[in-house]
Amino acid sequence: MRQEVKILYRGMSSESLRNLCSFADVFGIAAELVDVDQYRSLSCAVEGATARCGRVLVLNLASLSVGCTADEVNRVTNPLVKQEVVVLLLTTGFGEGVDLFLQLMTKNIVRCAEFVGHTERVSFPKVCGELSEELCGRSYPRKDSEALTLCIAADAKIDPVMELDEQPSFVRIRTRNANLFVWSAIRVLDVYRPLRAEIEFEEAVDEYVPAMILLRFASRDRSWHNPHPGAGIVIDDPLLKKTYGFIHFPELLDSVFRGDDVGAHCRTEQLCTRNQWCAHA
């Protein structure tokens, strides 16, 4: 059975929520958008979603916070944090309603979501290597544009998974049983949108990596392993000759086609560009 993700919103689903659904589907994880207006209350919607889903519940604060009272949020928070469930508080907006939601659901650990006019770097602090794994301690340039960050209480204990210019943007808060994640993002990347250049993907790390980390954590690597043994080989910019560094192409191709139990997909990129460059050098 595929891991299920329930994404709760109110009114109309946003492009970012639909993109999050598509992102989960890419990794073989079923995701469903749930309009809470179909239920008597937010608490009824959460109860129904947790009863029917696997371990992941996403609350879209930008829409759920509209017209939501403190009592209603508390009725959701108290039973939710006692369950063995992964909860993501996703905010793609900011304002008093979002801030109230964040404060109540995190017990005042997250004070608010803050709009930032520009940020230049995305980083993954070393203290959260358990979650960020291979990204732990690394930092990447980001397209200098607007962003959302989180304001955390001074004495709060959190796991800062991802930061934008050293300000937390994706964090984990450990509760009694649940794992509560908070992600502030202007948008979620559309994985099906054709890119004009590869750098668009490289400069949008903060728009998709938190989703990857969340899904990997929740599914316990189940969606990250092919059920059949295989090998993927990417040789970038190879020079077209029999031997390229330590690679002997005829032997490589023989090993690919000879394997009975292991299916390998061999791909080369930008063949003409490299050969033409060498021919004119």
pLDDT tens column, 191-225? 888 888 888 888 889 999 999 999 888 887 555 55
The per-residue pLDDT for range 69-128, each reduced to its tens digit, is 888 888 888 777 777 788 999 999 999 999 999 999 999 999 999 999 888 899 999 988
- Give the separation between CA 166 and CA 60, rounded to whole angstroms: 24
Q: What's the chain's average pLDDT? A: 82
The per-residue pLDDT for range 222-280, each reduced to its tens digit, is 555 555 556 666 676 677 778 877 778 788 777 767 764 444 555 554 444 444 444 44
Res 91: pLDDT: 94
Domains with residue ranges and CATH for the chain: 4-224 (3.40.50.880), 230-280 (no CATH)
Q: Predicted confidence band at 180 (pLDDT cuts at 50, 70, 90)?
A: very high
> In degrees, to the nearest 5, what angle opens at C-alpha 41 toward C-alphas 38 and 42?
95
As a whole number, mean pLDDT of residues 159-178 equals: 90
- Give the separation between CA 62 and CA 95, rounded to whole angstroms: 9
As a whole number, mean pLDDT of residues 166-175 equals: 92
pLDDT of residue 32 exceeding 70: yes
Res 214: pLDDT: 92
Q: At what angle do helices 209-219 and 15-26 cross, to 10 degrees?
A: 50
9-13, 60-64, 218-222: lowest mean pLDDT where? 218-222
* Higher pLDDT among residues 221 and 21, named by residue: 21
CA distances from 61 to 39, 126, 221, 267 (A): 17, 28, 27, 42
pLDDT of residue 164 exceeding 50: yes
Res 261: pLDDT: 47
Res 208: pLDDT: 93
CA nearest 97: which of 34, 42, 166, 27? 42
Bridge-partner residues for 91, per DSSP? 184
Backbone torsions φ then ψ of 208, nearest 5 degrees = -145, -30
Helix H or strand E segment including 256: helix 249-258
